[in-house]
Amino acid sequence: MPDPGSPAPEPALAEVEHLPGWTLLEFGTGWCGWCAAAQPLIQAALAGRDTLRHLKVEDGRGRPLGRHYGVRLWPTLVLLRDGQETGRVVRPRDREAIDALLAPVG
């Protein structure tokens, strides 16, 4: 049984670009210390934001979605509205940075 906190298989760019509403893409890896440290902050910021879709994307060499979004450091959070990027946070160190990113979602 897969771990519920594990990234799902990488969605195709065409799928992501056609997602309706708000989506948060979280790029990272399971072995990334920065990613693990950011999880409590990310989960706290997501609490109560039921209209926001959250997709954890396993990133690394040769992963097209991460390359398309120019991901260089993990975790990188990319906020999309109707498939278009509206903002991002790279290696969040506090919840305020994530809350500021997610403010338009409500």
Give 40-86 pLDDT, tens digit per residue.
Answer: 999 999 999 999 999 999 999 889 999 999 999 999 999 999 999 99
Tokens 């969605």 belong to which residue? 11
Residue 11 to residue 15: CA distance in whole angstroms: 6
**Residue 2, in any domain of the structure:** no
Residue 10 to residue 78: CA distance in whole angstroms: 15
| Residues present in the chain in total | 106
pLDDT number for residue 1: 37
Q: Which helix (H) or strand (E) holds 26?
A: strand 22-28
**Residue 1, in any domain of the structure:** no
Handedness of CA 30, 16, 92, 106 (dihedral sign): negative
Residue 29 sits in a domain of what CATH number? 3.40.30.10
- The whole model's pTM is what? 0.91
Domain count across the chain = 1
Q: Which domain holds residue 23?
A: 13-105
**Residue 52, in any domain of the structure:** yes
